[in-house]
Amino acid sequence: MIRTRVLFCLLISFVATVQSSAIIVSSSCISQASLYQYGCINNKTSIGCYCKNINWLGSVTACAYENSKSNKTFDSALKKIAAQCSSHRSYTLDDMKKIYLNASMYLRAPAKTDMKVLVNQPLTANETAFHYYYQNNYGNHLALIRSQWCAWGLVFFWAVVLTIATILNVMKKVFGKSIMPNSVKKSLIYPSVYKDYHERTFYLWKYLLQSLSFW
């Protein structure tokens, strides 16, 4: 029973990882492409303007290709980009792959001048900018989703609680007195035996127990 749950959880977290890393890759590619001039200077907020530009599409799909660790992530990232452009035109996955394949024949590295002068061919990703967006803006999102899916955060939390409790217990036996402050006992270890526990602690416990019953 536990084994099926663990396998199921790994499966879900795999799917979630492919999905969310595709979101992160596509958003980071779009963000780094906005460093360069694709003729949408007065229209930065409207992605529809960029979607009309074949060089922009080529650059963003090439960036997704370079930065996807697997074909699954690449396909998924292409779909996310297509979804962003859906107000302009509905691109299928095949359309996006064709755009990438065509662009791959014209790619060149970006230069500083591309920030001012209209880009007239697809650019490879600015990896510095890409990694900046990937790590700072979106990397945390991925970590959060992972810990939510498999409750790894909770497993870690319990491991810490049990370790501390064990250490304190051993120390109590060795030194013959409890060194755990009463406030810690109250809020963490036995909240329900105290009448005056805080409501927030109660909800934390309820949430933890519900999450744990998943296992």
Shortest distance, position 88 Cβ to ligand NAG, whole Å: 7
Write down the least CB distance from residue 45 to ligand NAG, Å.
Answer: 8
Q: Which is nearer to ligand NAG, 24 or 133 (CB)?
A: 133
Q: What are phi and psi of 123, to 5 degrees?
A: -110, 145
User: What is the smallest separation between the CB atom of 15 and ligand NAG, expressed in angstroms?
Assistant: 17
Q: Smallest distance from the beta carbon of 186 to ligand NAG, in angstroms?
A: 49
C-alpha to C-alpha distance for 3 and 11, rounded to whole angstroms: 12
CB of 189 to ligand NAG, least distance (A): 48
DSSP string for residues in 121-174 = S-B---HHHHHHIIIIIIIHHHHHHHHHHH-HHHHHHHHHHHHHHHHHHHHHHH
Question: Shortest gap between Cβ of 191 and ligand NAG (angstroms)?
Answer: 48
Question: Nearer Cβ to ligand NAG, position 66 or 197?
Answer: 66
Which residue number, 74 or 145, has a Cβ lying nearer to ligand NAG? 74
**Whole-angstrom Cα Rg for the chain:** 25
Binding site for ligand NAG (CB under 6 A): 42-43, 46, 48-49, 54-55, 58, 71, 102-103, 106, 110-112, 121-122, 126, 128-129
The answer to whether the beta carbons of residues 59 and 66 sit under 8 Å apart is no
> 137 or 169: whose CB is closer to ligand NAG?
137
Q: Between residues 108 and 198, which has the closer beta carbon with respect to ligand NAG? A: 108
Instruction: Please say which residue, 58 or 150, places its beta carbon nearer to ligand NAG.
Output: 58
Chain centroid, CA 89 distance in Å: 27
Each residue of 105-124: b (16+ CB within 10 Å) or e?
eebeebeeebeeeebeebbb
Q: Facing residues of 123 across strands?
A: 108
Q: Which of 109, 122, 144, 149 is nearest to 24 (CA)?
A: 144
